[in-house]
């Protein structure tokens, strides 16, 4: 499956309501398609589309899951506030990948963690942080 990008989106004939636009923007920011987000949150893709086209938030039991996957607070999901990420940990596809890794036997998990740690360390050596502290 190829990563989501803005060219994949269908064009709307009407403007999205403010809430729907917020949700769509948050999803795109972490590089997920509606289908990928729906699978990570555990709802049908049609629900994601409905929320992105509407002006009402999802059901209360879905909001914490959305916030976790999108890397924002539940207040952001509910009210569109605090758009700054609440966590610097993995989001989107990284979470999905590590959830799959967590299903492997412990020894294989440890090997994967070793490899990822080595790659992260190598990246840090070859890409020093910018003055603002961003690692993009």
Q: Sign of the C-alpha dihedral, residues 17, 19, 22, 27? A: negative
- Residue 91 belongs to some domain of the structure: no
- Residue 136 belongs to some domain of the structure: no
Q: Residue 58 sits in which domain range? A: 6-79
- Residue 107 belongs to some domain of the structure: no
User: Which pTM was predicted?
Assistant: 0.54
- Quick: pLDDT tens for 72-85: 888 888 887 654 44
Task: Return the CATH number at 57.
Answer: 1.10.260.40
pLDDT at 50 (0 to 100) = 93
- Residue 109 belongs to some domain of the structure: no
- Residue 35 belongs to some domain of the structure: yes
pLDDT at 136 (0 to 100) = 46
Q: DSSP character for 17?
A: P
Most confidently predicted of 14-18, 55-59, 63-67, 103-107: 63-67
- Residue 42 belongs to some domain of the structure: yes
| Structural domain count of the chain | 1
DSSP states of 56-93? S---TTTHHHHHHHHTS-HHHHHHS---S-S--S--TH
Q: What is the mean pLDDT of the chain?
A: 79
pLDDT at 132 (0 to 100) = 46
pLDDT at 86 (0 to 100) = 45
- Residue 65 belongs to some domain of the structure: yes
- Residue 71 belongs to some domain of the structure: yes
pLDDT at 78 (0 to 100) = 82
- Quick: pLDDT tens for 86-132: 444 556 677 777 778 878 888 888 898 889 888 888 888 888 776 44
């Amino acid at each position: 499956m190829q990563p989501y990008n803005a060219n994949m989106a269908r064009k709307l004939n009407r403007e999205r309501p403010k809430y729907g636009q917020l949700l769509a923007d948050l999803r795109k920011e972490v590089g997920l398609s509606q289908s990928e987000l729906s699978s990570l949150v555990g709802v049908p893709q049609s629900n994601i589309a409905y929320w992105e086209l509407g002006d009402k938030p999802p059901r209360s039991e879905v909001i914490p899951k959305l916030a976790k996957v999108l890397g924002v607070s539940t207040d952001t999901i509910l009210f569109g506030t605090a758009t700054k990420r609440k966590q610097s940990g993995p989001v989107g596809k990284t979470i999905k990948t590590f959830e799959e890794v967590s299903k492997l036997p412990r020894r294989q998990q440890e090997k994967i963690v070793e490899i990822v740690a080595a790659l992260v360390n190598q990246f840090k050596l070859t890409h020093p942080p910018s003055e603002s502290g961003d690692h993009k």
